Structure 1
């Protein structure tokens, strides 16, 4: 029986994704490690500051793992939250697990802890790159209801491998942020179809920002994570040049505004995807078949 990844809490995902009973949490809620900033502002705290970190096994192989809790402040990163992520990654350099898994669900930096959160995110990014440079793959799973935005969106793209569900979302700026900055005419955050076409798993997979697209199912995420355990991509000049070429091609292929198709659908057509209008309505299996057919025609 399938179980929705999006509907699970962070700890439910850990229990179901990893080998049964293997997760050993570091700094659990019993340690009562909370944000001093939130307490000073009179904002309710969480005893794990919205992220669970620890060691576990996946298919019998040792992994370090962090799971953000979207139900607490949207998974926002503050000083303690970020320090736990950094500590996990730095310990990976010492203990050398098979991989590090980031179960990302975050709206980005907490506005309550803006400067501390921004510094924390930059430290997480540096630590991710250090772990990758040591030959340990960092794998990001995105499928929570809050998506992966802001600083955590950047962190995700710094990792070796990204697995997303159709319902997952990944971007730098969230829909509400874009609308607040540029107006509803630029981006209507209430248009759910538009939001998912622009930031959703299908779009990210088609454009190369996501390595694997899966159904919103915990078992599907587990199987994809197991396959990704050997997906290390050493940070080399050749890899950076490939990324720059991808971004340059995206800018080149970005179509002008059209009354017939929105930007996402027009871009899919530029990428050679036939019947781009069908993409929002088809399932993941059909997406994979469509991609195979598209590649065969090139």
Structure 2
């Protein structure tokens, strides 16, 4: 696979394969279970739905800044990047390979998950739910073995449903403005709680609540980057070069305490602008409308005081 790094190629607009090509070092990627092997969903044909030869997930090994890494990339254009039996199994297998090879001298110590998903594939719901749970377990086992698992979220589908939970389980999270992350999607909330609770057609509201800017400002992500493949690459290289943080009971307890504190401070907020106001940001009502350049400047300025994960 060609790995020319587009200087300003959009992460949002790129396909899964283009993101992998731009993210990794030139000509370093080796794909596992590629389209030519035709490992496809056995369920979609039952609903007369088209299938993809790779089931919408690219997995393999390559190099990032000269360091070996494993990478899995979802294609949000196929079935909304949803988790099914085959696509989920490919990600689980990659994470287990990282776990099992953790002691090797040349084994990758970093797994990059390029998430672009609406959650579980409804046409194979049971298999999809099982896949999500197995991915979560595999992430925990990999981290316990000293592997750093980095989620990169900036695609059109975001990371919703099981994808939102998977994102939260990773060692580090990189988001762009388009990196919406949430367990329940706007339509799901509106259907169950009514439009008064959440108007899914209010795009500005959706982006303020679930978008990458709010996720970063509230400590739900470790890096905020512009919508450029190059920016995601630079962030992944920096985070991948760090030593893996211990994944033990102490860390889990500390994370739980941090989340409880966030809930105490922001739990009664009705909109993201209230959270931004409490963070002491200048002109918080403008955060959602800032240019990318102005927000990146703000993100850099806020970094020393950022409520990091």
TM-score interval, normalised by the smaller of the two chains: over 0.9
User: 1 CA distance for matches of 2:174 and 2:301?
Assistant: 19
Q: In the alignment, is residue 15 of structure 1 matched against residue 21 of structure 2?
A: yes
The one-character-per-residue Cα deviations of 1:187-229 (angstroms, maximum 9, x if unpaired) are 1111111111101111001111100000000000000000011
In structure 2, the residue matched to 1:91 is 97
- Cα offset, 1:274, TM superposition: 3.5
Q: Is residue 259 of structure 2 the alignment partner of residue 247 of structure 1?
A: yes
Distance 1:289 1:63 in 2: 27
What's 1:45 paired with?
Answer: 51
Partner Cα distance (2:257, 2:147) in 1: 25
Within 1, Cα distance between the matches of 2:218 and 2:237? 23
Asked if 1:58 corresponds to 2:64, the answer is: yes
- Aligned counterpart in structure 1 of residue 275 of structure 2, from 267, 282, 286: 267
Asked if the contact 2:174–2:221 (Cα under 8 Å) also holds between the matched residues in 1, the reply is yes
Q: How does 1:1-298 map to 2 (within 5 A)?
A: 1-96=7-102, 97-231=108-242, 232-254=244-266, 256=268, 262-282=270-290, 283=292, 284-291=295-302
Deviation at 1:234, TM superposition (A): 2.0
Secondary structure of 1:162's aligned partner:
strand
Q: How many equivalent residue pairs?
A: 291
Report how far residue 272 of structure 1 moved.
3.1
- The answer to whether the 8 Å contact 1:78/1:120 transfers is yes
Is the contact made by 1:23 and 1:57 (CA closer than 8 Å) also made in structure 2?
yes
Q: Structure 1 length normalisation: TM-score? A: 0.93
Distance 1:292 1:228 in 2: 15
Mark the CA change 1:294 to 1:140 in structure 2 (over 3 Å): closer, same or farther.
closer
Q: Deviations over 1:75-119 (max 9, x none)?
A: 000011110011111111223312000000000001111111001
CA distance in 1, matches of 2:216, 2:80: 24
Q: Is the 8 A contact 1:164 1:212 kept in 2?
A: yes
Counterpart Cα distance in 1 of 2:235 and 2:57 = 22
What's the secondary structure of 2:68's corresponding residue?
strand
The answer (yes or no) to whether the contact 2:208–2:271 under 8 Å persists in 1 is no
SS in structure 1 at match of 2:28: coil
Show the counterpart of 2:3. none
Q: Answer whether contact 1:143 1:168 (CA < 8 A) is retained.
A: yes
Structure 1: stretches of 5+ with no match in the other structure? none
Runs of 4+ aligned structure 1 residues displaced above 3 Å come to 292-295
Structure 1 residues 30 and 292: alpha-carbon distance in aligned structure 2, compared to 1, 3 A threshold: closer
Q: Secondary structure at the match of 2:43?
A: helix
Which whole-Å CA distance do the structure 2 matches of 1:281 and 1:52 have between them? 34
